[in-house]
Amino acid sequence: MRVIDSSIILATFAALAFVSLLMPMPSVLLDLGMAISFSLAILILSLVLLTPSASEFIAFPQFILISLIFRVYINIASTKLILTAGEYGEKVAGQTLYGFASFVMGEGLHIGIVVFVIFTLLNFLVLSKGSSRMAEVSARFSLDAMPGKQMAIDADLASGAITHEDASQRRDSLSKESSFYGALDGVAKFVKGDAVLGLLLTAINLIIGVGFGVLTYGMALGESLKLYAFLTIGDGFVSQIPSLIISFATGLLLAKGPDRKPTSNAIAHQIRSRKEVLLAVSMVCAALALVPGLPTIPFLFVSGSAAAMWFYASQDIEPELETSNEQDAEIHVDKIEDLLEADDILIKVSGTISRSLLRADSGIEQRIRPLRMHIAEKFGLLIPQVRIAEDSVLRDNIYEIHLHGAKVAWGELQGNDVLVLLDQADGREGTRDPVYGAPAKWYPSLEKEELALSGFTVLTGEEVLLTHLMDVATNNLDTLMTAKTLKQTLNSLVRQSDPVKAEGIKLCLSDAIPDKIPNEYLLDILKGLLSEGISIRGFSTILDAAVEAKSSGFRGENAVEFVRQRINLQVLDAAFDGAHDTQAITLDPRWEDLFSQSEVGATGQPSFVAIQPEELKRLSARLFEAASRSTRSGLSVVLVVSAKRRRYLRSVLDASQIKLPVVSFEELGSGANIKFKDVIPFDA
């Protein structure tokens, strides 16, 4: 239980510091103030070293400003006391100031002055100036990158990779980050001004102090110069050391890269990932130890230390990998029954990328859940859980996507690097985007923000894999709809949060399944709909249509076509893909004549079309040309044919890998906003 609120303590502290500007401060309180100033500087530096990323230290600008103003109060109070040293002696400004002056200038006044000048130049010209510039650039880059980051959040939300709550949290975090860097830019100017003020106070203490000593206290010029130089240097060190520490902390915080780790961990990780550099350091220092005139023992000591660190870093990872492999072997041997049933969706990754992909903070497993939610919302299908596993057999940097034990896709990642999508005319192509085949190239992750600001589309390794997984899942919805998936879907439908809807679905299912239609009949219809990307979210409507199709004697593909006509709104929505103005193409009537002449089939059995190979090749070429024209025009185009030929033409398009929706005239209905644009010609 808190006795005194922290805000009251801070307000009291600020009030007392302000009073010190108006009233003389006893030397004891000045010693206490200087000790607090040192402590605040060390505290800020320690927090910076342990903070994983700059934007997580939100209170840093406030912290810096408070410590800076407090140090200015201490400097002004010490200046008052120093100017009275001619009357009260060299210990007038407190033991801390006197102790620093005695320690630094123990070997002579000239040494103390030189060391103080070096300290001042280091703080003013190097740390303060550099930190101010880094803060300015970081603030500008942060503000310039905000629109791109906002668009990335909106894109992730639209694709279902994140939820609305996640998007809100990201926007809030983005706003805080922008405000943080903006405030830090302003505070860096205060830090630089503090260094300038330190120089001015040093000049005041020395020049005016010497004048006071000679004119006011009747001291000799040499005696006055020695006294006030002694106290001025001590005061300068007491103020410049905390200032230097805070300038260093500011620069260190701004220098933190995208790797969210404390400074020590980040440096250790970099050295371990490139541990060969330690061996190089050891060899160079050993060579320098042999150079005549150079001290042998120090260089040999550094060489041995670097070699020991290299050996330790080399031994650090191998036991973990060996233990992991042994544990994996035990799992496979002890639970061999697990090998009998393949995972519904399995992502295999090579060992070279598993460390970056499967680390706890990568977020890939958390991002798979929104992907599953997006598919459920768009298509009404609960896809199975996705398992990610390392496969030591895979080639370096390779991943594979398996469905029901069969490899259906693969791709390549480059550790922590990012994939940049390039223009077709760009000459820097190094690889291809695994989903769309666009030219791309891998770049180091440190260049991510710079590339994004240059207008490129930048994808992390996790985003590449998730986009590929989304593409594979949406193109294989019928494969993922199994008897097990159907059972899970039916169970989920009756467990909805809305009790009225859940009860209605439960009554509908109990009335239809299995008395009116068996599960396998419904499964065939659902697979047929999902194979063409038609949502099954209107499950009650689909179930009613399936019952009607069963009672009318339709089976197989004919049952699917019957249901499509009953749920034509969902069919058209999938075909138009959300476009408000869609154009249609249809076949020359002579194609229908050819199909009718080419029908084959036994008496009483469904007939099918078997046209000559050259005619089939010509049809595929005409359809490909039509699809290419629609792609170039940027318009949404569908192929409209008779219900009797729809399935056949769908199979022709699939065999030729032509992406063109196919609907029947019967599915259009009266409310479709569609314009017939073109006719697939028949002539050769």
| DSSP conformation letters of 592-660 | HHHHHHTEE--TTS--EE---HHHHHHHHHHHHHHHHHHHHHT-EEEEEE-HHHHHHHHHHHHHTT---
The b-or-e profile of 57-91 (16+ CB within 10 A means b, else e) is beebbebbebbbebbbbbbebbbbbbbbbbeeebe
**Residue 123: its H or E element:** none
The predicted-structure confidence for 99-145, as pLDDT tens digits, reads as follows 777 777 665 777 777 888 888 888 778 877 777 777 777 777 777 77
Which pLDDT score is estimated for 329?
Answer: 37
Q: How far are the Cα atoms of 318, 331, 334, 501, 540 from residue 338, in angstroms, in the given order?
A: 28, 10, 9, 38, 37
256 CB-near residues (< 8 Å, 6+ apart): 51, 53, 54, 263, 266
* 514 upstream amide cis, omega within 30 of 0: yes
Under CATH, what is the fold of the domain 343-475? Answer: Glutaredoxin (3.40.30)
Report H helices in 92-220.
Answer: 95-104, 109-121, 129-159, 164-203, 209-211
The residue assigned the tokens 């049809």 is: 619
* DSSP annotation of 446: G
Architecture in CATH of 580-684: 3-Layer(aba) Sandwich (3.40)
Which pLDDT score is estimated for 321?
Answer: 37
* DSSP annotation of 338: G
CA dist 329 and 338 (Å) reads 13
Angle, in degrees to the nearest 10, between helices 556-566 and 568-576: 90
Measured in residues, the chain has a length of 684
Which pLDDT score is estimated for 90?
Answer: 61
CA dist 583 and 635 (Å) reads 7
Could you write out the DSSP letters of every residue in 50-65?
Answer: H-SSGGG-TTHHHHHH
What is the block-wise mean pLDDT of the chain (684 residues), using blocks of 10 residues?
61 69 74 86 88 77 82 82 68 73 71 81 79 76 74 66 72 78 77 79 83 82 83 82 85 70 71 79 89 88 88 59 39 55 88 72 72 88 87 88 91 86 62 83 84 83 89 92 88 79 83 85 92 88 90 88 89 76 83 85 63 88 83 77 88 86 83 76 76
The b-or-e profile of 614-647 (16+ CB within 10 A means b, else e) is eebebbbebbeebbeebeeeeebbbbbbebbbbb
CA dist 71 and 40 (Å) reads 10
* DSSP annotation of 385: P
**Do 268 and 241 touch, CB atoms closer than 8 A?**
no
CA dist 8 and 12 (Å) reads 6
Which pLDDT score is estimated for 408?
Answer: 92
* DSSP annotation of 384: P
Which pLDDT score is estimated for 337?
Answer: 60
What is the pTM (predicted TM-score) of this model? 0.54
Which pLDDT score is estimated for 519?
Answer: 87
* DSSP annotation of 679: E
CA dist 557 and 542 (Å) reads 15
Which pLDDT score is estimated for 333?
Answer: 41
Q: How far are the Cα atoms of 139, 251, 405 from residue 340, in angstroms, in the given order?
A: 56, 57, 10
Domain range annotation of the chain? 6-256, 270-333, 343-475, 481-566, 580-684
Which pLDDT score is estimated for 580?
Answer: 60
The predicted-structure confidence for 491-511, as pLDDT tens digits, reads as follows 888 877 777 887 888 888 888
Which pLDDT score is estimated for 278?
Answer: 84
Name the phi and psi angles at 439, rounded to 5.
Answer: -65, 140
**Do 551 and 516 touch, CB atoms closer than 8 A?**
yes
Give the residue from 286, 305, 306, 309 showing the smallest Cα distance to 296. 286
**Do 429 and 441 touch, CB atoms closer than 8 A?**
yes
Tokens for 654, please give them. Answer: 């699939």
Name the phi and psi angles at 662, rounded to 5.
Answer: -125, 125
Q: How far are the Cα atoms of 37, 266, 353, 443, 507 from residue 261, in angstroms, in the given order?
A: 28, 6, 19, 21, 55
